[in-house]
Amino acid sequence: MSTAVLWFRRDLRLADLPALLSAGERASQVLALYVLDDALLRPSGKPRVAFLYGCLKALSDSLDGRLMVVHGDPVREVPRAAASVGAESVHVSTETAPYGSRRDRAVAEALGDVEWVETGSPYAVTPGRITKPDGDSYRVFSPFYRAWCRHGWRAPAAGSTVEWIEPERPGRIPEAPDLGATPLPPPGEAAAHDLWESFLDDDLRGYATDRDRPDRPATTRLSPYLRWGCIHPRTLLADLEARHGKDVESLRSEIAWREFYADLLFHRPETARRNYDRRFDDLRYDKPATTFDAWRDGRTGYPIVDAGMRQLLAEGWMHNRVRMIVASFLVKDLHLPWWLGARHFMRHLVDGDLASNQLNWQWVAGTGTDPAPFFRVFNPTTQGEKFDPHGDYVRRYVPELREIGGKAVHQPWKLPSLPRGYPEPIVDHAEERKIALTRFNAIGK
């Protein structure tokens, strides 16, 4: 009787899982395995870890408790698990992120004669598959998107019924860290599909115009589920195939941005920590001080910035438009390096994804692939007035300003007196914009 190991990582689901199909085709019995890896857990914030544990519990329940959970170095633990059931093969979804690809090469070597089988990936199109006619990678989203659409993607994988092995040492999913009052989305595959179906029925219409409005519940909120693979982007794309219009196209484009950044990181893994455009290595930054603390705590005196930073601390999530606003403020108003903000986001975001987080920060900072990037300096006041025109988002997260009606909430310094407990703006945006552009010009751009 042949046996195999299915090692779950960023694919915590049973539907639309090519690696599961591959394991079922090669073996009559399959061991479901998850390795709690400190190299990934240590830099993860409490919200992301708590959501992961919830997703593992949901996966284990769907396997009737037959999920083997071990804690340790995968280079040691995966071969040990394979040996415990006499597995002839280990099946995984392909990992292309810097750490994951290094880890997988080491695990495959440690397995010796046990076959290592990679099938599928966390993306509709695996990073590295799409290249320009000259074989080089794309550096600009629009041509990448056109090539990505032309390339296309497979239909969702068929279901598979396998005999799951009862592990001798099933292990225990740790208790989730205490998050206090922080609300997390319900974890797991079923919750992801319920949310997606609800979005298709109720919220897809208007997505193209409303997705930039943080005062409206207009986004999919699927990012935590995509992060852990509770649902696959191929599933979303398949459901969009029969639909048409600007809302569908806008959502398809947002899915493609996630794939674009994964592709960039695959080709340039060092950009997880360093500037994509190395000319910006000479840009002058200030040293972190009280201004960074004010930004981190949502005490800058700019309401839309403070609302976003407080939402992050309260919910482990932030609306995407506001992520761009607060990132621009850190880099171009406070003159602090993007990686400080990226690290803070990764500590707190339940959907923290290395490629999307780091390269979105670089897009805003102007150090990434955008052909005319650094001149884009978001004005936090006009951004707030445009995308939160009635002030509802700010009032939701900044209680000191709840008595101010309408869009006046975005300029509380114009009132006869500031509301009690709310700070004066810590910088003058117009002046800091000039400084940012002067420093940009000094590096010879």
pLDDT per residue over 93-105, tens digit each? 999 999 999 999 9
Quick one: angle between helices 338-348 and 303-315, nearest 10?
Answer: 40
Instruction: Give me the percent of the chain exceeding a pLDDT of 90.
Output: 90
Instruction: Give me the percent of the chain exceeding a pLDDT of 70.
Output: 98
How far is C-alpha 396 from the chain's CA centre? 24
3-121: which CATH number, 3.40.50.920, 3.20.20.70, 2.60.40.1120, 3.40.50.620?
3.40.50.620
Tokens of 170: 């099933």
pLDDT number for residue 393: 98
pTM of the full predicted structure? 0.95
pLDDT tens-digit series, residues 116-138? 999 999 999 999 999 999 989 99
Residues 373 and 361: their CA atoms lie apart, in Å, by 12
**Banded pLDDT at 196 (limits 50, 70, 90):** very high
Torsion of CA 341, 342, 345, 349, to 10 degrees: 170
Q: In whole angstroms, how far apart are CA 413 and each of 97, 198, 214, 332, 405?
A: 45, 41, 22, 21, 14
Sign of CA dihedral 156, 159, 164, 170: positive
At residue 43, does pLDDT exceed 80?
yes
At residue 170, does pLDDT exceed 90?
no
- The topology under which CATH files domain 278-442 is DNA Cyclobutane Dipyrimidine Photolyase, subunit A; domain 3 (1.10.579)
pLDDT number for residue 281: 93
Q: In terms of C-beta density within 10 A (0-12 exposed, 13-18 middle, 19 or more buried), how is residue 168 classed?
A: exposed
**Banded pLDDT at 444 (limits 50, 70, 90):** low
**Banded pLDDT at 369 (limits 50, 70, 90):** confident
At residue 253, does pLDDT exceed 70?
yes
Binding positions? 207, 219-223, 254-261, 351-353
pLDDT tens-digit series, residues 281-294? 999 999 998 999 99
Q: Which of 226, 227, 206 is nearest to 216 (CA)?
A: 206
pLDDT tens-digit series, residues 261-310? 999 999 999 999 999 999 899 999 999 989 999 999 999 999 999 999 99
- Which CB contacts under 8 angstroms, 24+ apart, belong to 382-390? 383/304, 383/321, 383/325, 384/302, 384/303, 384/304, 384/325, 384/410, 385/410, 387/212, 387/213, 387/214, 387/215, 387/304, 387/321, 388/213, 388/214, 388/215, 388/304, 388/307, 389/215, 390/215
**Banded pLDDT at 374 (limits 50, 70, 90):** low
Helix (H) / strand (E) containing 377:
none
Residue keyed to tokens 């705590």: 297
Kindly report the average pLDDT of the chain as a whole number.
Answer: 95
pLDDT number for residue 208: 96
pLDDT number for residue 178: 85
* Amino acid code (one letter) for 175: E
pLDDT number for residue 126: 97
Neighbours of 428 (CB within 10 A): 11
> What are the sequence ranges of the domains in the chain?
3-121, 122-156+189-267, 278-442
Neighbours of 179 (CB within 10 A): 17
Neighbours of 331 (CB within 10 A): 26
Tokens of 299: 């005490």
Tokens of 23: 């394991």
pLDDT number for residue 445: 55
Residue keyed to tokens 């552009």: 437
Give the mean pLDDT of 368-392: 88
**Banded pLDDT at 158 (limits 50, 70, 90):** confident
Give the mean pLDDT of 156-170: 87
Give the mean pLDDT of 323-327: 97
pLDDT number for residue 283: 93
Residues 316 and 257: their CA atoms lie apart, in Å, by 21
At residue 161, does pLDDT exceed 90?
no
Q: In terms of C-beta density within 10 A (0-12 exposed, 13-18 middle, 19 or more buried), how is residue 390 classed?
A: middle
Q: Which of 233, 259, 232, 240 is nearest to 14 (CA)?
A: 232
Tokens of 371: 């052909």
Nearest-5° angle of CA 197, CA 201, CA 205? 125
Partners of 32 in the beta sheet? 6, 67
Torsion of CA 349, 350, 352, 357, to 10 degrees: -50
Residues 257 and 85: their CA atoms lie apart, in Å, by 41
Asked if 315 and 8 touch (Cβ cutoff 8 Å), the reply is no
Quick one: angle between helices 233-240 and 189-202, nearest 10?
Answer: 30
CATH code: domain 122-156+189-267 is 1.25.40.80
Residues whose CB is less than 8 angstroms from the CB of residue 170 and which lie 6 or more positions away in sequence, other chains included: 65, 66, 67, 68, 69
Binding positions for FAD? 207, 219-223, 254-261, 351-353
pLDDT tens-digit series, residues 224-248? 999 999 999 999 999 999 889 999 9
Residues 1 and 141: their CA atoms lie apart, in Å, by 49
Partners of 69 in the beta sheet? 34
Q: At 242, give phi and psi (nearest 5°).
A: -85, 0
Give the mean pLDDT of 14-43: 95
Give the mean pLDDT of 364-381: 83
pLDDT number for residue 116: 98
Tokens of 41: 């857990």
